[in-house]
């Protein structure tokens, strides 16, 4: 078997335990350490707990392999990079103080920048990045994100999500680069951005201490569930499962992704977390994935309905299916007890545990965690660095899709006049950084309001127009607000408020939060461009005729300047839809290539300036 061969001549000559020898091969180090470990230490390596319950004593008693921040789990409100580094290093110190001194790996969701962290650069969510059709851009975003994550002392992220969302009712559709598997495959370039250039054919690799271990998620079919219901059931042939939802993993593995997270969803009624054929046979044997497979949050508990019943049986199903690390995240004693009893009864065999631990250690050795277990404090300034904000601004520009410009071809409204005497900026999303960022920002669900550092669209417009231009801002204008007030034009910014996962499941997909009334109240009185902030296409056809222009801005993140750059013509529109824009929700699911295909705007649509 190429690349993993072990020869006696490579054995370590001095008295330092071989696994501590950075010059020894990874496989030799893994083998040496594995044989030194007790069963309790091996089971500990398979456990990932939540930071809120972690402390030196349970780390040293249970030998946890990993600790995570769940969505929004932070050392303190608005914690600084140093606060983060102190927390992570504190946990690491405890781990290194155990008998074998195996470092733990701290993981966090960094799905559109380092999104848990106050002051971090928040990039557009994947649905917008898919509209850029720019793999190099997402690779650069990956590299910048890795630097910001390392700037808090963290070496591991649960990103990218390479779901292929096939139904926009899914509350996680914005985490998907698009409905076309080939587009999603191209966007796996974010992995060498996060991890650095891969070292070889599918070998998990993290090129330097400026990179992080990445996670391709959620294996497999998370974006294909019936009616887009989160964590539900994907019903398709195996051929379709592979061709639509699995092909992205071919690329992720070839690019050396370190870990793969399993989906909560089911395939043909069988929970992915218990699917031994797809995890052990397909992913590990056929696709030769050599990193470790991690469960989702309480993924074992959710094998059953209701969650958590017959937990020991779920542990048996999940571990035997091929799960290596278990995102427990709280009931670690129950998990450990279950493992002891299942091994005792030979319901789980020791070779399965050894395979799991071998994979976990392989990733830790490969990424240099034994040599560099602590934060590099010189990187703290990477969090929210201006160069990253400039990159995010570029990404916003390239993600915008122009859907309409002008009520008739001779009178395009965009680009807007910077020298207009008086303009109206209206809408619930015009001056709201939280709405701009969407879910998975500072907290799990995200929030409206001034939740982190950044530039709102209103602030961006204000810094773009001439000093003589009078700007009037009104979040919720009534029917008379814009009437006969001498506005040259209005920018109406409305859309969805932040949500994440099942909270965002939505079957009617209309513009919420009073957005329709704002459009009607403003656009009936003054020529208007509507900028839609949303995680997916929404029903706009009934209101399209009243708009002079319509721009899909998706969930752009902290750099609102990217929107004004293009609205005022400093940069062209170049975004192309990563998703089919339906007329009505009852048409769904409707994806490019379907026989019955009658969209308002087709997949790949996007206007540009005709100058």
Residue in 21, 109, 230, 296 annotated catalytic: 296
Residues 28-57 that bind ligand GLC (CB under 6 A): none
Site for ligand GLC in 357-396 (CB under 6 A): none
- Cβ burial, residue 350 (10 Å; 0-12/13-18/19+): exposed
Q: Which is nearer to ligand GLC, 216 or 400 (CB)?
A: 216
Report the nearest approach of ligand GLC to the CB of residue 158 (Å): 4
Catalytic site residue 570? no
| x/- letters, 537..566, toward ligand GLC (CB under 6 A) | ------------------------------
Cβ atoms of residues 286 and 278 within 8 Å:
no
How far is the CA of 99 from the CAs of 40, 63, 266, in angstroms?
Answer: 12, 9, 40
121-160 residues near ligand GLC, rule: CB under 6 A: 158
Contact 472, 422 (CB under 8 A): yes
Query: Which residue number, 71 or 415, has a Cβ lying nearer to ligand GLC?
Result: 71
Phi, psi angle pair for 198, to nearest 5°: -65, 150
Output 21 or 109, the one with its CB closest to ligand GLC.
109
What residues between 202 and 241 interact with ligand GLC by CB under 6 A?
Answer: 217
Q: Which of residues 88-127 bind ligand GLC (CB under 6 A)?
A: 109
- The CA distance from 492 to 474, in Å, is 10
Site residue total, ligand GLC (CB under 6 A): 7
| Shortest distance, position 364 Cβ to ligand GLC, whole Å | 19
Q: DSSP state, 562?
A: H
Structure tokens at 371: 């040599």
For residues 216 and 250, the answer to whether their CB atoms sit within 8 Å is no
Rounded to a whole number of angstroms, the minimum distance from the CB of residue 112 to ligand GLC is: 12
Residue at token pair 């020298």: 419
441/180 Cα distance (integer angstroms):
26
Q: Are 164 and 184 in contact (CB under 8 A)?
A: yes
Please state the closest distance from residue 501 (CB atom) to ligand GLC, in A: 6
Q: Among 70, 90, 368, 569, indicate the residue that binds ligand GLC (CB under 6 A).
A: 70
Residue with Cβ nearer ligand GLC (296 or 432): 296
Nearest approach, Cβ of 36 to ligand GLC (angstroms)? 31
Hey, CA dihedral for 311, 315, 316, 322, is it positive or negative? positive
Cβ-proximal residues to 212 (8 Å cutoff; 6+ apart), any chain: 110, 145, 146, 149, 150, 154, 155, 156, 157, 194, 195, 206
C-beta of 207: minimal distance to ligand GLC in Å? 23
Q: How far is the CB of 297 from ligand GLC (least distance, A)?
A: 4
Interatomic CA distance for residues 232 and 242, integer angstroms: 18
Q: Which of 44, 65, 71, 515 binds ligand GLC (CB under 6 A)?
A: 71
Specify the residue, 219 or 297, whose C-beta has the smaller distance to ligand GLC.
Answer: 297
Taking the C-alpha atoms of residue 104 and residue 515, their distance in angstroms, rounded to an integer, is: 47
Q: How far apart are CA 359 and CA 288, in angstroms?
A: 12
In three-state secondary structure terms, 402 is: strand
> Which x/- pattern, by CB under 6 A, does the window 299-328 give for ligand GLC?
------------------------------
Where in 265-294 is the site for ligand GLC (CB under 6 A)? none
Q: Least distance to ligand GLC from the beta carbon of 107, Å? A: 8
Terminal alpha carbon distance of the chain: 59
Judged by beta carbon, residue 64 or residue 297, the one nearer ligand GLC is 297
Residue among 215 and 521 whose Cβ is closer to ligand GLC: 215
Burial of residue 80, with CB atoms counted within 10 A of its CB: 0-12 exposed, 13-18 middle, 19 or more buried: middle
Please tell me the number of Cα atoms within 13 Å of 199 on its side-chain side. Answer: 13
**With respect to ligand GLC, which residue has the nearer C-beta, 191 or 494?**
191
Nearer to ligand GLC, 70 or 572 (CB): 70
Q: Is 296 one of the binding residues for ligand GLC (CB under 6 A)?
A: yes
Query: Closest CB to ligand GLC among 50 and 417?
Result: 50
User: Is the CB of 158 or the CB of 581 nearer to ligand GLC?
Assistant: 158
Catalytic residue among 501, 548, 559, 565: 501
Helices and strands: H and E segment counts in the chain: 20, 17
Q: How far apart are CA 372 and CA 450, in angstroms?
A: 36
Kindly identify the residues of this chain, within the stretch 158-197, that bind ligand GLC according to CB under 6 A. Answer: 158
Q: What is the spatial distance between Cα 379 and Cα 153, in angstroms, rounded to a whole number?
A: 8
Least gap, CB of 52 to ligand GLC (angstroms): 13
Q: Which residues fall within 8 angstroms of residue 54, CB to CB, at 6 or more apart?
A: 64, 67, 91
Residue 179 is among the residues annotated as catalytic for this protein: no
Question: 218 preceded by cis ω (within 30°)?
Answer: yes
Find the binder of ligand GLC among 118, 249, 267, 297 (CB under 6 A): 297
Tell me the C-alpha distance between 431 and 449, whole Å: 8
Cβ closest to ligand GLC, residue 194 vs residue 353: 194
In 252-294, at which residue ranges do the beta strands (DSSP E only) sit?
Answer: 259-262, 266-267, 270-271, 292-294
**For 54, what's the count of Cα atoms within 13 Å in the CB-facing half-sphere?**
31
CA angle 350, 352, 353 (to 5 degrees): 65
List residues with catalytic annotation.
Answer: 296, 501
Binding site for ligand GLC (CB under 6 A): 70-71, 109, 158, 217, 296-297
């Amino acid at each position: 078997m190429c690349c993993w061969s072990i020869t006696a001549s490579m054995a370590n000559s001095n008295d330092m335990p071989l696994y501590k020898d950075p010059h020894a091969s990874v496989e030799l180090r893994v083998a040496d350490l594995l044989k030194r470990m007790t069963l309790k230490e091996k089971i500990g390596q398979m456990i990932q707990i939540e930071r809120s319950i972690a402390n030196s004593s349970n780390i040293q008693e249970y030998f946890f392999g990993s600790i995570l921040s769940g969505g929004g789990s932070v050392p303190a409100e608005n914690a600084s990079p140093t606060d983060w580094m102190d927390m992570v290093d504190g946990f690491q110190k405890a781990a290194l103080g155990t008998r074998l001194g195996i470092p733990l790996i701290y993981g966090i969701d960094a799905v559109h920048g380092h999104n848990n962290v106050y002051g971090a650069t928040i990039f557009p969510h994947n649905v917008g990045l898919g509209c850029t059709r720019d793999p190099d851009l997402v690779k650069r975003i990956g590299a910048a994100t890795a630097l910001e994550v390392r700037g808090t002392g963290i070496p591991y992220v649960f990103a990218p999500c390479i779901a292929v969302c096939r139904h926009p009712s899914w509350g996680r559709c914005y985490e998907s680069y698009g409905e076309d598997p080939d587009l999603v495959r191209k966007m796996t370039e974010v992995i060498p951005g996060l991890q650095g250039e891969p070292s070889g054919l599918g070998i998990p690799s993290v090129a330097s201490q400026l990179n992080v271990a990445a996670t391709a998620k959620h294996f497999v079919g998370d974006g294909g569930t019936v009616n887009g219901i989160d964590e539900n059931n994907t019903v398709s042939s195996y051929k379709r499962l592979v061709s639509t939802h699995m092909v992205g993993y071919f690329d992720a593995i070839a690019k050396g992704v370190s870990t793969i997270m399993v989906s909560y969803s089911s395939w043909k009624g069988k929970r992915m977390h218990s699917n031994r054929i797809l995890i052990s046979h397909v992913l590990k044997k056929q696709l030769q994935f050599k990193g470790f497979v991690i469960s989702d949050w309480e993924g074992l508990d959710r094998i059953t309905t209701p969650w958590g019943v017959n937990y020991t049986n779920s542990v048996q199903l999940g571990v035997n299916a091929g799960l290596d690390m278990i995102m427990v995240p709280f009931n670690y004693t129950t998990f450990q007890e279950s493992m002891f009893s299942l091994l005792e009864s030979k319901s789980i065999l020791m070779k399965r545990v050894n395979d799991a631990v071998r994979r976990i250690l392989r990733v830790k050795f490969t990424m240099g965690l034994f040599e560099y277990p602590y934060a590099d404090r010189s990187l703290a300034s990477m969090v929210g660095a201006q160069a990253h904000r400039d990159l995010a601004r570029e990404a916003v520009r390239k993600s915008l899709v122009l859907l309409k410009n002008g009520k008739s071809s001779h009178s395009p409204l965009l680009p807007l006049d910077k020298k207009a005497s008086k303009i109206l900026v209206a809408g619930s999303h015009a001056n709201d950084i939280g709405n701009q960022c969407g879910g998975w920002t500072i907290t799990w669900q995200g929030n409206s309001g001034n939740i982190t550092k950044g530039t709102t669209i209103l602030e961006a417009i204000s810094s773009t127009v001439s000093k003589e231009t009078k700007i009037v801002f009104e979040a919720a204008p009534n029917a008379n607000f814009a009437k006969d007030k001498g506005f040259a034009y209005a920018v109406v910014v409305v859309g969805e408020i932040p949500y994440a996962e099942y909270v965002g499941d939505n079957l009617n997909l209309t513009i919420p939060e009073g957005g329709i009334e704002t459009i009607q109240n403003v656009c009936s009185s003054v020529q208007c461009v509507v900028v839609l902030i949303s995680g997916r296409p929404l029903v706009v056809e009934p209101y399209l005729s009243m708009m002079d222009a319509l721009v899909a801005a998706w969930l752009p993140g902290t750099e609102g300047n990217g929107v004004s750059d293009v609205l005022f013509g400093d940069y062209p529109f170049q975004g192309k839809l990563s998703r089919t824009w339906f007329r009505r929700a009852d048409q769904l699911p409707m994806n490019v290539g379907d026989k019955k295909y009658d969209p308002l705007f087709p997949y790949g649509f996007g206007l540009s300036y005709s100058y």
